[in-house]
Amino acid sequence: KTVLKEKTSIDDGIGLPDWRLALCLLGSWICVCGVLSRGVKSTGKASYFLAIFPYIVLIALLIRAVTLDGAINGIIFFINPNWEKLLDPKVWYAAVTQCFFSLSVCFGAIISYSSHNDFRHNIY
């Protein structure tokens, strides 16, 4: 409840935004405005940092996750497949649904699929 800021009921309202998140968002917008206001050359310089920094964060998160209690059990559970689930049609339905959500309309793949679909087919 502390991390998610969950309320016990809706009667209390949704609450105020977390000031730490708002401060981080403000900082990121200040960085973006600062880079864009200085022109193209500073954008190239900033791209060196912006290309490397996410990898540093991911490596730090990986090290943190591996050092937690029960991390080995989670990794083994992730690696060992449950072969019985491959026969479950709900799993395949969820997988296809996730594929279409990850394709999204912006890429145009679903629009391309629908253009080849006959109007009388019951496929949406």
Residue 103 included in any domain = yes
Query: What are the start-end ranges of the H helices in the chain?
Result: 19-38, 40-66, 71-79, 89-103, 109-115
* pLDDT tens figures, 54-85: 999 999 999 999 999 999 999 999 899 889 99
Answer for the pair 15, 7: CB distance below 8 angstroms, yes or no. yes
Residue 105 included in any domain = yes
Residue 31 included in any domain = no
- Which residue ranges make up the annotated binding site for Na(+)? 102
What's the domain range around 88? 83-124
Three-class SS of residue 64? helix
Number of folded domains that form the chain? 1
Which residue positions in the chain have pLDDT lower than 70?
1-4, 104-107, 109-110, 122-124
- Which residue ranges make up the annotated binding site? 102
The predicted structure's pLDDT at residue 59: 98
Residue 18 included in any domain = no
> What's the pTM?
0.49
Residue 99 included in any domain = yes
